Structure 1
Amino acid sequence: MRTTSSITVGRAAEIGLLGDVLSAARQRAGGAVFLLGEAGIGKSRLAGECAYQAYGLGLPVLRGRGSSTGTVTPFRPLIEALSSRFRAAGPPADLELAPYRPALARLVPEWRDGASAAGTGAYPETVVELAEALLRLLAVLGRDQGCVLLLEDLHDTDAETVAVLEYLVDNLDGLPVLLLGTLRAEPGPALDLVRTAERRRAATVAELRPLPPAEVAALAAAILESEVADVPAAVIDQLAARGDGCPYLVEELLADMLDSRALHRGEDGRWTLPGGPRTGVPSTIVRSWSRRIDQLDPQVRELLLTAATLGSRFSVTTVQLITGYDDRTLFSHLRSASEANMIVPDGAAPDRYAFRHALTADAVTAALAPAERAALARRAARAIVRTDPELADERRQLVASLLLAGGDRAGAAVHFAEAGRRMLEAGAASSAVILLERARELAGDAERTTVTERLLPALAEAGQLDRAFELARTLPPVHADRGPARTPAVERRIDLHTRLAWAAVMAERGPDAVAQVAAVRTLSADRPRPEQDAALAVVEGHLALLPVHDPQDRTDTATRLAEAERRARQAAEVAERAGLPVVACQAWQLLALLARERGFDAADACLERMLAVAEAHALPVWRVEALLRLGANAFMRTGDGTRLERAREAAAGLGAIMLTQTLDGLLAMNAVLRGEWDTAREIVDRCLDATARLRNLAAHRYLLLCSATLAAHRGRGRETERELARFRQAGGEESFLMPLRYGLCRAVGALLAEDRAGATAELAAGLVWEQEHPSVFYLAGRHGLHPLLEVADGRWGRAELDRAVASPAAELAWNRQFLGFAEAVLLGREGRPAEATRAVTEARLTAAPFPLAHHLALRLTAEAALADGWGDPVTWLRTAEEYFHQAEVQPVAAACRTLLRRAGASVAQHRGGRDAVPARLRTCGVTVREYEVFVLLAARPGNQELARKLSISPRTVEKHMANLLAKTGRTDRAGLCDLASELCGEG
Structure 2
Amino acid sequence: MELAEALLRLLGIIGRATGCLLILEDLHDADAESLSVIEYLVDNVRDLSVLLLATSRPQACPALDLARSAAQRRAAELLEPAALTPAEVRSLTAACLDTSPATVPGQVIDRLTHDADGNPFVVEELLAAMISSGALRRVQGSWQLAGVLDANIPNTVVRSVSDRVDRLGGQTRQLLHIAAVLGQRFPLPVLQAVSGLDDRSLLGHLRAATDAQLIVPDTALADWYTFRHALTADALLVEMMPTERSRIAQRTADTMEALHQVLPEGWPQLVAELRITSGQHPAAAVLLADAGRRTLAAGSSRSALALLDRAHQLDPTPEILASLIHALAEGGQLDRALELVNHLTPTAVRQDEANERASLHSRLAYAAIMARQFDDAVSQVESARRILGPDAGPEQMATLDVVEARLIFNLPGDRDERLATANRLARRAAEIAEREALPEVACQAWQLLSSLARSEGYEVADAWLERILSAAEEHNLPAWRIDALMRLGVNEFLRTGTVSRLHQGRRAAQQLGSIVLGLSTEVSLGLPYVMCGDFVAAADVLERCESPTFRMQNLGELQTVQVSQAMLAAHQGQRRNMDDALKRLRDSEGKLSPNKTLVLGMCRAVCALLEEDPGLAAQELDEALAWELANPTVYYLTGRYGLRLLVEVVAGRAGWGAHDEVVEAPTSTLRWNQQFVLFARAILHGRSGRPVEAAEAFEAAVEAAAVFPMAAHLGRRLVAEAAIVDGWGEPAVWLRAAEEYFHTAEVPAVASACRALLRRAGASAVQRRAGRDQIPAELRACGVTVREFEVFELLADHPGNQGIAKRLYISPRTVEKHVASLLAKTGHPDRAALSGFARQLLA
Q: Normalising by the residue count of structure 1, what TM-score does the alignment of the two structures yield?
A: 0.74
- Comparing 729-738 with 605-614, which one deviates more in the overlay? 729-738
Which of these residues, 25, 34, 43, is aligned with residue 161 of structure 1? 34
Q: Letter of the aligned partner of 2:531 in structure 1?
A: L
1:25 counterpart residue number: none
- 1:183 is the counterpart of 2:56: yes
Distance in 2 (alpha carbons) for counterparts of 1:177 and 1:980: 62
The answer on 1:744 being equivalent to 2:744 is no
- Among 309, 313, 318, the alignment partner of 2:185 is 313
Match 2:347 to one of 478, 502, 516: 478
For 1:323, give the aligned amino acid.
S
Aligned counterpart in structure 2 of residue 374 of structure 1, from 246, 271, 292: 246
Which is further off, 487-496 or 164-173?
A: 164-173
1:499 is aligned to 2:357? no
Deviation of residue 289 (structure 1)?
4.9
1:475 & 1:135 partners in 2: Cα distance?
A: 42
Residue identity opposite 1:328 in structure 2: R
The 1:981–1:543 alpha-carbon spacing in structure 2 relative to 1, beyond 3 Å, is farther
Does residue 454 in structure 1 map to residue 330 in structure 2?
no
Please report how far the alpha carbon of residue 521 of structure 1 lies from its aligned counterpart in structure 2 after TM superposition.
0.6
Give deviations 1:283-336, integer Å, cap 9, x for gaps: 975566556545543322321222222123322121012123232221111112
Corresponding residue to 1:664 among 518, 522, 528: 522
Deviates more, 1:763-772 or 1:517-526: 763-772
Letter in 1 for 2:375: P
Q: Secondary structure at the match of 2:638?
A: coil
Contact 1:420 1:431 in 2 (8 A): yes
Residue number in structure 2 paired with 1:591: 449
Query: Partners in 1 of 2:837 and 2:90 — Cα distance?
Result: 96
Q: Deviations over 1:879-924 (max 9, x none)?
A: 4334334444332222223233334444343456656766666555
Percent identity reads 48
Does the alignment pair 1:613 with 2:471? yes
Which runs of structure 2 are paired with 1:135-534 in the superposition (5 Å)? 135-136=11-12, 138-139=14-15, 143=17, 147-169=20-42, 172=45, 177-187=50-60, 189-199=62-72, 202-211=75-84, 230=107, 239=114, 245-249=118-122, 286=158, 289-290=161-162, 293-386=165-258, 393-443=265-315, 448-479=317-348, 487-534=351-398
On the 8 A contact 2:571/2:607 being kept in 1, the answer is: yes
Contact 2:805 2:812 in 1 (8 A): no
Query: Could you tell me how far apart the structure 2 residues matched to 1:170 and 1:399 are?
Result: 30
Q: Give the Å deviation of 1:229.
A: 5.7
Given that residues 33 and 306 in structure 2 are in contact (C-alpha distance below 8 angstroms), is that contact kept between their aligned partners in structure 1? no
Which residue number in structure 2 is paired with residue 764 of structure 1?
Answer: 622
Instruction: Give the SS at the match of 1:647.
Output: helix
1:703 Cα deviation from its structure 2 partner: 4.0
Q: Is 1:819 equivalent to 2:677 in the alignment?
A: yes
Which stretch shifts more, 786-795 or 648-657?
A: 648-657
Q: Are 2:332 and 2:553, in contact at CA under 8 Å, matched by a contact in 1? A: no
Amino acid at match of 1:459: L
Counterpart-to-counterpart distance in 2, 1:907 and 1:218: 82
Sort the Cα spacing of 1:979 and 1:680 in 2 relative to 1 into closer, same or farther, 3 A.
Answer: farther
User: Bigger CA drift: 902-911 or 315-324?
Assistant: 902-911
How many angstroms apart in 2 are the aligned matches of 1:424 and 1:927? Answer: 66
Q: Matches of 1:978 and 1:219 in 2, distance apart?
A: 89
In structure 1, how many angstroms separate the alpha carbons of the residues matched to 2:194 and 2:238?
20
Q: Distance in 1 between matches of 2:585 and 2:689?
A: 46
In structure 2, do the counterparts of structure 1 residues 897 and 155 end up closer, same or farther at CA, with 3 Å as the change threshold? same
SS of the residue corresponding to residue 456 of structure 2 reads coil
Paired with 1:606 and 1:353, the residues of 2 have a C-alpha distance of 54
Provide the rounded CA distance (Å) in 2 between the counterparts of 1:722 and 1:907: 35
- Partner of residue 59, structure 1: none
Which region of structure 1 is more displaced relative to structure 2, 587-596 or 359-368? 359-368
How many Å apart are 1:539 and its aligned residue? 1.4
Deviation, structure 1 residue 961? 6.8
1:463-862 matches, within 5 Å, as 463-479=332-348, 487-546=351-410, 549=411, 555-684=413-542, 686-688=544-546, 691=549, 698-721=556-579, 724=582, 736-770=594-628, 774-862=632-720
Alpha-carbon spacing, 1:957–1:537, altered in 2? closer, same or farther (3 Å)? same
CA–CA separation in structure 1 for the residues paired with 2:29 and 2:424: 52
Distance 1:416 1:678 in 2: 47
Q: Which has the higher helix share?
A: 2
Deviates more, 1:459-468 or 1:925-934: 925-934
SS of corresponding position for 1:780: coil
- Corresponding residue of 1:126: 2
Q: Which moved more, 1:314-323 or 1:905-914?
A: 905-914
- C-alpha contact (below 8 Å) 2:112/2:126 kept by paired residues: no
Change in 2 beyond 3 A, CA 1:216/1:865 = closer
2:29–2:184 Cα contact (<8 Å) kept:
no
- What SS class does the counterpart of residue 353 from structure 1 fall into? strand
Measured in 1, the distance between the counterparts of 2:796 and 2:109 equals 109
Relative to structure 1, the CA distance from residue 300 to residue 236 in structure 2 (aligned partners, 3 Å threshold; closer, same or farther) is closer
For 1:471 and 1:174, locate their aligned partners in 2 and report how far apart those are by CA, in whole Å: 35
- CA distance in 1 between counterparts of 2:756 and 2:610 reads 15
Q: Residues 268-288 of structure 1, C-alpha deviation per residue, up to 9 Å, x if partnerless?
A: 96975798x99xxx9975566
In structure 1, distance between residues paired with 2:6 and 2:467: 31
Specify the code of the residue in structure 2 equivalent to 1:327: D
- Secondary structure in 2 matching 1:359: helix
Q: In structure 2, the residue corresponding to 1:596 is in which secondary structure? A: helix
CA 1:635–1:377 in structure 2 vs 1: closer, same or farther (change >3 Å)? closer
Deviations 1:617-649 (A, max 9, x none): 222222221121111112122222232233323
Q: Which runs of 5+ in 1 are unaligned?
A: 1-124, 481-485
Matched, 1:896 2:769: no
Contact 1:914 1:928 in 2 (8 A): yes
The one-letter amino acid of 2:249's match is: A
SS of the residue aligned with 1:354? strand
Tell whether the 8 Å contact from 2:526 to 2:561 is kept in structure 1 after alignment.
yes
Q: Which moved more, 1:290-299 or 1:774-783?
A: 290-299
In the alignment, is the contact (CA less than 8 A) between 1:210 and 1:245 conserved in 2? yes
Does the 8 Å contact 1:877/1:899 carry over to 2?
Answer: yes
Gaps spanning 5+ residues in structure 2: where?
138-143
Q: Give 1:685 shift.
A: 5.1
SS at match of 1:209: coil
Distance 1:908 1:440 in 2: 74
Q: How many residues align?
A: 830
Q: Distance in 2 between matches of 1:885 and 1:283?
A: 81
How much is the aligned-residue C-alpha RMSD, in angstroms?
4.2
SS at match of 1:524: helix
Indicate the SS of the match to 1:838. helix
In the TM superposition, residue 811 of structure 1 has moved relative to its aligned partner by 1.0
Alignment CA distance shift 1:367-1:566 (3 Å) = same
Q: Which amino acid aligns with 1:531?
A: E
Give the C-alpha shift of residue 220 in structure 1.
8.8
Q: Which residue of 1 aligns with 2:141?
A: none
TM-score (norm 2): 0.85
Residue range with higher mean Cα deviation, 782-791 or 188-197: 188-197
Checking the alignment, whether the CA contact within 8 Å between 2:370 and 2:555 is kept in structure 1 is: no
CA contact (8 A) 1:449 1:475 kept: yes
**Are 1:938 and 1:978, in contact at CA under 8 Å, matched by a contact in 2?**
no
Distance in 1 between residues matched to 2:170 and 2:43, nearest whole Å: 52
1:796 Cα deviation from its structure 2 partner: 2.5
Answer yes or no: is the 8 Å Cα contact 2:329–2:367 preserved in 1.
yes
Cα separation, 1, equivalents of 2:704 and 2:395: 46
In structure 1, the residue corresponding to 2:78 is in which secondary structure? strand
